[in-house]
Amino acid sequence: MSPTVAIVGGGYGGAAVAKALQDEADVVLIDPRDAFVNAAGALRALTRPDWAGNMFFPFDRLLTRGRVLRDRAVSVDPTGVALASGGRVAADYLVLATGSDYPHPGKPAAVTVREARDDFLRTHKELRGAERVLILGAGPVGLELAGEIKEVWPEKRVTVVDPAEELLPGFGAELVADLRRQLDGLGVELRLGAGLREAPGTEPCRAGEFTVTTTTGEEIGADIWFRAHGESVNSGYLADGRLVTRTENGRVPVTERLNVRGHERVYAVGDLTDVAEAKMAGFAMRHAEVVAENIGAQLRGERPTAEYRPLPHPVVLLPLGTRGGVGQLPSPEGPVTATAEMVAEYKGADLFTARFTEQFGPTAA
């Protein structure tokens, strides 16, 4: 009998580990969802609900050999996973990959493709009739959302508010200036260095007129608002401390080989980890390669030696609709600025649908 590798969470990191190890071990992938979610597609799924199916890759087509269990981990110890259903998966190797949640529409809260698509459609209908849109948060998610809205409804007034003084801290002045120029061209209004004195009087993602006052004293009226900040780590199932003590902000401490500290056969990948870098899908997938290599070595009776080293500079691919945007990519010589055409080609045109179709099978569209 082959050793069992239990993977908790089938996002970018977990799905990639499962796929990589399915021929070498008995892989069990545990996730309450019925599909891998490509969060990068979420904002377009909101503005173009007919496109939304492209961001989901059903789990029943992901693995050719392993098993996918539609369940939720409620506790993990070094020998296995306790499930919300009451069951248990005993494992020789464990990979924790439960990532993070993000407020709607950034990541779907619903666990089935059907319900998640219904949620996008409901919010789309609320947004469609709104003339003025307020977005709280000018990070990549808030700005991408502004770009997607402007591409479908150029006439809508879109305002993005953020207490930070500048866009994309850590990136070069030229990239930031280009981003500001493109946002200006789209007519997206930025209010930086400004918080809100009070929360909007309506629920996020719901149509309804309201006025808010910024900390700089400006009144902004809008017909709908979105929260584009407030990611939360999914690590509640580790709170009992049977496996590890989480860091102060709920992340899992890992070694350079991505072992959960203190455990040679337990690994963690992606947003869940305390690796000192921005939390990104691209990095979760690089973590997955390192972990698959290390478990692969252990399965063959060899010593695991693959190590993960964060990039020494920040990277970003920030499309503004299907044609615009800014980017900075890694290269052996250091960071390279991506033109709007490159951003569109690498991400904006299809939001990685083709790449994930190749890796994870057909979409739910």
Ligand X SMILES: Cc1cc2nc3c(=O)[nH]c(=O)nc-3n(C[C@H](O)[C@H](O)[C@H](O)COP(=O)(O)OP(=O)(O)OC[C@H]3O[C@@H](n4cnc5c(N)ncnc54)[C@H](O)[C@@H]3O)c2cc1C
**Which of residues 57 and 191 has its CB atom nearest to ligand X in the complex?**
57
Among 60, 55, 57, 56, which residue's Cα sits nearest to residue 70? 60
Which amino acid would we find at residue 160?
Answer: V
Q: Is 275 in the site for ligand X (CB under 6 A)?
A: no
CB of 278 to ligand X, least distance (A): 8
**Which of residues 99 and 296 has its CB atom nearest to ligand X in the complex?**
99
Footprint on residues 173-212 left by ligand X (CB under 6 A):
none
First-to-last C-alpha distance (Å) of the chain: 38
**Which of residues 200 and 270 has its CB atom nearest to ligand X in the complex?**
270
Q: Is 234 in the site for ligand X (CB under 6 A)?
A: yes
> Cα–Cα distance between 39 and 262 in angstroms, integer?
32
Q: Is 280 in the site for ligand X (CB under 6 A)?
A: yes
Contacts 24+ apart (CB under 8 A), 336-342: 337/172, 337/174, 337/175, 340/182
Q: Which stretch binds ligand X (CB under 6 A): 60-68, 93-101, 183-191, 332-340?
A: 93-101
Among 346, 263, 352, 274, which residue's Cα sits nearest to residue 308? 274
Question: Among positive and negative, which fits the CA dihedral 14, 20, 23, 24?
Answer: negative
- Residue of 4, 5, 7, 10 that binds ligand X (CB under 6 A): 10
**Which of residues 47 and 100 has its CB atom nearest to ligand X in the complex?**
100
> Cα–Cα distance between 230 and 249 in angstroms, integer?
13
> Cα–Cα distance between 244 and 196 in angstroms, integer?
38
Q: Is 13 in the site for ligand X (CB under 6 A)?
A: yes
Q: Is 25 in the site for ligand X (CB under 6 A)?
A: no
Host H or E run for residue 161: strand 157-162
Q: Is 279 in the site for ligand X (CB under 6 A)?
A: yes
CB of 315 to ligand X, least distance (A): 8
CB of 280 to ligand X, least distance (A): 3
Among 235, 282, 277, which residue's Cα sits nearest to residue 260? 235
**Which of residues 141 and 194 has its CB atom nearest to ligand X in the complex?**
141
**Which of residues 56 and 178 has its CB atom nearest to ligand X in the complex?**
56
Cis omega before residue 105 (within 30°)? yes
Question: 35-71 burial by CB neighbour count: b if 16+ within 10 A, else e?
Answer: bbbbbbbbbbbbbbbebbbbbbbbbeebbeebebbbb
Total number of residues binding ligand X (CB under 6 A)? Answer: 38
- Residue of 56, 59, 102, 308 that binds ligand X (CB under 6 A): 102
- Residue of 5, 18, 21, 43 that binds ligand X (CB under 6 A): 43
Q: Is 31 in the site for ligand X (CB under 6 A)?
A: yes
Footprint on residues 104-163 left by ligand X (CB under 6 A):
106-107, 141
C-beta of residue 137 within 8 angstroms of C-beta of residue 228: yes
Q: Is 317 in the site for ligand X (CB under 6 A)?
A: yes
* DSSP characters over 98-123: --EE-TTTTS-SSSSHHHHHHHHHHH
Q: Which three-class secondary structure state does DSSP give residue 147?
A: helix
Q: Is 30 in the site for ligand X (CB under 6 A)?
A: yes
Q: Which stretch binds ligand X (CB under 6 A): 99-107, 127-135, 176-184, 296-304?
A: 99-107
**Which of residues 59 and 212 has its CB atom nearest to ligand X in the complex?**
59
- Residue of 4, 7, 22, 33 that binds ligand X (CB under 6 A): 33
Q: Is 250 in the site for ligand X (CB under 6 A)?
A: no
**Which of residues 208 and 277 has its CB atom nearest to ligand X in the complex?**
277
The residue whose two tokens read 């459609």 is 121
| Residue ranges binding ligand X (CB under 6 A) | 8-14, 30-33, 37, 39-40, 42-43, 72-73, 97-100, 102, 106-107, 141, 234, 237, 270-272, 279-282, 284, 317, 347
